[in-house]
Chain A
């Protein structure tokens, strides 16, 4: 862990990513304490205000405090992102490991099914799933989770195949280790690094997909604060007051950028083959 932090401190891009991700995470987790106002409280006399001491980032068309809504919106956004990527990592890695371990037809069928899911442009598959499940935050997490599963299945399968062909796995087998034990003890640790990197990078894109879906009205439903929805609602009032549009988009960008940079830094750190390359 200490070596890891030292390595990261030598990687300015990864460092910036870590700091941004932490800021976003803290904002999301501690939203109830950090928020200056109730994110749902309307106040018609205070609507369309610019940034001020009373309202740090201004107010929206209902006079709701933009700063507080962005904190809570980030919370929703991250909950969906973590939920979906968690699901995808769990399902995808399991599918990939099983495919690599059993090989033959199991492998072929599982990976072919994954190919079919990968054939859809991501947002369309997510839209299709949401059409079936109905809109909402939890369903969005499930939809993005399904969309991302094949990425992790492919990612886990490759290294798992190569580990399984190594001599020490053959030795473990000869010593009587059974399938689950080999997968858990020998294969999983060896596929952790690429999966960790992909998980971080996927958080970054999941934040964008979640924002797109709620921008389209298919994600989190009003009046719950959501960054995509805030942007979508506020753009009708751009000419009166552009602040909410500017800040809600900026929040999406910050969250996504943070995890992307951090993932990039992690990759440089964990992948010895890439070390030293720009």
Chain B
């Protein structure tokens, strides 16, 4: 177990190193001089300012030194300065991160709450009407564009529930009801593909486990149907589900980035898109780095849960 965790952490360090190199190279790969890019469309560009910035950025140094300096800054929490506002990128990201995380985790929780009963229902009623309905919904759900669902929901809400606050964001601390009522639609819209994916995998995994010998043994011992499901089958059926949660989280985060645009939620996605349109590259770079790091850590947690549920993983 310890060996596996150590190996997994070593992987993690390497992957984060690779991610940081790619994100660092991003700005250098943009055609044109990094200094021009960083100064953006600033009107008061003077040769002195350009020279000062060049020196401050260490652009005269060899590229690996530039990377090391940049990375040392990242470790200290210094992601550079936003071109337009002059505010530290870290500050901008920290103020938006909770918004994106709130949508993501609410959607994850909602997807888990909905997909478990659905998956179990489909597996128990195999071949029946419930099964067919659940499978149909999960196939369509996987390809349902969440931004389209969001747009349609906004339209429906504006007609049938004109008083419902649908767009924007208020912090939970200030107005819990206002916060949650604004979360309902984005969370619903973005969770469909995840519900579909989880339901589908839980169903097929349950069906597979239920056909195994130890389940038959349990049944023949006289264990009740309910107990066979909850005690014997579900735990083993969970293993592939957890793998899928890791994969689906990537899609979920991608969905959140887009849905923020639909509901005008000031999260990291909206920040990044705004930053690209303004050619505010340090900010784009910072958002990509932070969100990817969060994603990598969540995946680590998912993997560790895996070893806890399935002790055999160590051997593999």
Q: Which residues of A contact B (CB under 8 A)?
A: 13, 112-113, 115-117, 119-125, 127-128, 130-132, 204, 208-209, 211-212, 215-218, 231, 235, 238-239, 242, 245-246, 248-249, 252-253, 256-257, 260-261, 264, 277-278
**If A124-B253, A132-B30 touch, does A215 touch B284 (CB 8 Å cutoff)?**
no
On chain B, the residues within 8 Å of A245 by CB distance are 148, 151-152, 155
On chain B, the residues within 8 Å of A121 by CB distance are 250-251, 253-254, 257, 291-292, 295
On chain B, the residues within 8 Å of A248 by CB distance are 148
Show 17 A/B contacts (Cβ-Cβ < 8 Å), sorted by A: A112-B14, A113-B18, A115-B15, A116-B14, A117-B22, A119-B18, A124-B287, A127-B276, A127-B288, A128-B23, A132-B29, A216-B261, A216-B273, A231-B148, A249-B145, A257-B140, A278-B204
On chain A, the residues within 8 Å of B276 by CB distance are 127, 130-131, 218
On chain A, the residues within 8 Å of B145 by CB distance are 208, 211-212, 249, 252-253, 256
**If A249-B148, A278-B204 touch, does A122 touch B254 (CB 8 Å cutoff)?**
yes
State whether A235 touches B151 (Cβ < 8 A).
Answer: yes
Interface of A is mostly: helix
Complex alpha-carbon distance, A229 and B250, angstroms: 23
A115, A124, A125, A216, most chain B CB atoms within 10 A: A124
**If A124-B257, A217-B277 touch, does A116 touch B18 (CB 8 Å cutoff)?**
yes
Q: Does B144 contact A (CB under 8 A)?
A: yes
Look across to chain B and name the residue whose beta carbon is closest to the beta carbon of A129.
Answer: B26
Look across to chain B and name the residue whose beta carbon is closest to the beta carbon of A17.
Answer: B139
On chain B, the residues within 8 Å of A116 by CB distance are 14-15, 18-19, 22
Q: Which residues of B contact A (CB under 8 A)?
A: 11, 14-16, 18-19, 22-23, 26, 29-30, 126, 139-140, 142-145, 147-148, 151-152, 154-155, 158, 204, 207, 250-251, 253-254, 257-258, 261-262, 272-273, 276-277, 281, 284-285, 287-288, 291-292, 295-296, 299
**If A127-B272, A216-B273, A218-B276 touch, does A239 touch B284 (CB 8 Å cutoff)?**
no
On chain B, the residues within 8 Å of A231 by CB distance are 147-148, 151
Complex alpha-carbon distance, A256 and B253, angstroms: 20
State whether A260 touches B154 (Cβ < 8 A).
Answer: no
On chain A, the residues within 8 Å of B281 by CB distance are 131
Complex alpha-carbon distance, A128 and B291, angstroms: 12
State whether A238 touches B155 (Cβ < 8 A).
Answer: yes
Contact of B284 among A113, A119, A131, A260 (CB under 8 A): A131
State whether B284 touches A261 (Cβ < 8 A).
Answer: no
**If A119-B296, A239-B155 touch, does A253 touch B277 (CB 8 Å cutoff)?**
no
On chain B, the residues within 8 Å of A204 by CB distance are 143
Complex alpha-carbon distance, A117 and B21, angstroms: 11
Contact of A120 among B151, B207, B261, B288 (CB under 8 A): B288
Complex alpha-carbon distance, A94 and B23, angstroms: 25
Nearest CB of chain A from residue B98's CB, rounded to whole Å: 18
State whether A249 touches B151 (Cβ < 8 A).
Answer: yes
State whether A215 touches B258 (Cβ < 8 A).
Answer: yes
On chain A, the residues within 8 Å of B142 by CB distance are 260
Complex alpha-carbon distance, A218 and B279, angstroms: 12
Complex alpha-carbon distance, A246 and B156, angstroms: 12
State whether B154 touches A235 (Cβ < 8 A).
Answer: yes
4 closest A-B pairs by beta carbon, nearest first, are A116-B18, A249-B148, A123-B254, A256-B143
**If A13-B139, A113-B18, A249-B152 touch, does A128 touch B258 (CB 8 Å cutoff)?**
no
